[in-house]
Amino acid sequence: MSTFSGINTALTALRTQRQGLELAGQNIANAGTEGYTRQRLETTPVGGSQVPALWSTPDKNSTGQGVQVTSVNRLQDAYVEARVRTEHERNASLTTTSEVLTDAQTVYNEPSDNGLQAQLTNLWAGFTDVGDNPGDQGARTQLLTRAQSVANSLGNAASELSGQFDGRRTQLGGTASDINAAAQRLADLNNSVVRAKAAGVSYNELADQRDTVALSLVEMTGAQVTRTPDDAVNLTIGGSSLVTGATARQLAVAGGTTITDAQGGNAVTLQWTDNATAVTGTGGKAGALLTGLNTTLTDQLTRFDNVAKTLVNQVNTANAAGFTAAGVAGGALMSGTTAAGIAVTTTDPKAIAASSSATKALDGGNADVMARLGSATGGADQVYQTNVADIGMKVKAAAQAAATQGTITDQVDAARSAASGVNLDEELTSMLSYQRSYEAAAKVMSAVDSMLDTLINRMGA
């Protein structure tokens, strides 16, 4: 190294160490910033000219010409980042599924003194009272009142499920709006990153923002992420493009607007606004909401409908087998085939066919038979109890799955933080190292300056 080249060597060291200090400060400043990825300075030594020439060929004993910064890299582990996206998508899906099921379970309100099971029990007890006192009009009136309470409870259950459906559909619409906004944001960031890369300027912070937006889209849609050679991030849902480079597509909610629409086969869907085709392969939060709307809530309504239909058939069939006090065969006491449509068809206590004989007005034999319908195989009680057990198991399984996935997601986030997060102790060490290196480079500069001063000003006459 010549005396004059030593100045350049020291200068490159000063510049590099200063940039290292600035980068350490940037990392420390963003230690608590969500989505920020730790950055590291990559350097290489500056050697001699690679093209031999008369005055450019370095001496074989040359010590080089300093140091240069080759890049400022984001410290990311591609495998960990992929795991983060996968586990966050699963967590969003399972959490939403658990929420939908938990809300649906509240419709049952079991076990409870006011639940449908208690009211069914009271209904059958009412038939027992009538069987014990066939001529008591008060007992008959009370029986009809209890039957109306059961019908009201089934109607309220249908109404509650309908309200939950409307709320979840509105939530899906909000999620679709969030997806559209995030997709456009991702497209804009893609454009900025690609242009910055082409211009040769730093875009690490933009890339951090873009990765955060991409993760939120994966959580909402279950989209697949790919990177292009120009460092753009593309997202696809079920093989169809959501974001390609600087272009984003939009989604909208379509299909059934009521729970009965969805129950009848007009399913709620997400569709592409540019060609009105259905979005397939949706996962994440949106996918869980679609499943909740088209499967979970409609299934629960169908289960309540089955209870209502079974109850109406049971009561009407049994009443038709008996006779009223006037000796006339009993008619229908209830009507309807759905929870929303079930009703008590009469307000006349005399319509209850309590007698098992047309000639015995005060015989309560048929009422006693009807009182035992609560324990009948395949009866309304058994159907309802099966439904209660089913929703209970589903809620428990969903809650356990969501809790387990939450733990897994936390673990993956911790692994990501270890790989890409800012470690203040490490940054402090780096900062001290850059500081000392800067001071040493300054000493080299000072020493070379002293040597030149001696050479130029103090040698010879």
In a domain, 339, yes or no: yes
Q: Are residues 70 and 88 in the same domain?
A: no
Q: Are residues 45 and 154 in the same domain?
A: no
Q: Are residues 107 and 246 in the same domain?
A: yes
Q: Are residues 237 and 294 in the same domain?
A: yes
Token pair 């933009």 in the structure block, residue: 206
Q: Are residues 113 and 183 in the same domain?
A: yes
Q: In this predicted structure, which of 17-31, 47-61, 212-226 has the lowest mean pLDDT?
A: 47-61
In a domain, 416, yes or no: no
Q: Is residue 17 within 8 Å of 437, Cβ to Cβ?
A: yes
In a domain, 257, yes or no: yes
Q: Are residues 147 and 272 in the same domain?
A: yes
Residue 56 predicted with pLDDT over 80: no
In a domain, 231, yes or no: yes
Q: Is residue 2 within 8 Å of 64, Cβ to Cβ?
A: no
Residue type, 99: E
* Token code pair at residue 320: 């038709």
By DSSP bridging, strand 269-272 and strand 334-335 are: unpaired
In a domain, 68, yes or no: yes
Residue 64 predicted with pLDDT over 70: no
Span 253-310, pLDDT tens digits:
999 999 999 999 999 999 999 999 999 999 999 999 999 999 999 999 999 999 999 9
When pLDDT is cut at 50, 70 and 90, the band that residue 312 belongs to is very high
Q: Number of H helices and number of E strands within the chain? A: 11, 10
Q: Are residues 34 and 159 in the same domain?
A: no
Q: Are residues 453 and 406 in the same domain?
A: no
pLDDT of residue 87: 96
Q: In this predicted structure, which of 78-87, 176-185, 414-423 has the lowest mean pLDDT?
A: 414-423
Mean pLDDT of 414-428: 87
In a domain, 28, yes or no: yes
* Number of folded domains that form the chain: 2
In a domain, 381, yes or no: yes
Q: Are residues 166 and 310 in the same domain?
A: yes
Q: Is residue 218 within 8 Å of 225, Cβ to Cβ?
A: yes
In the chain, % of residues over pLDDT 90: 64
Q: Are residues 270 and 234 in the same domain?
A: yes
Domain limits for position 452: 3-75+422-457
In a domain, 417, yes or no: no
Q: Are residues 23 and 101 in the same domain?
A: no
Span 149-180, pLDDT tens digits:
999 999 999 999 999 999 999 999 999 999 99
- Cα separation, 371 vs 133, in Å, equals 13
Q: Are residues 311 and 177 in the same domain?
A: yes
pLDDT of residue 448: 80
pLDDT of residue 1: 46
pTM for the whole thing? 0.87
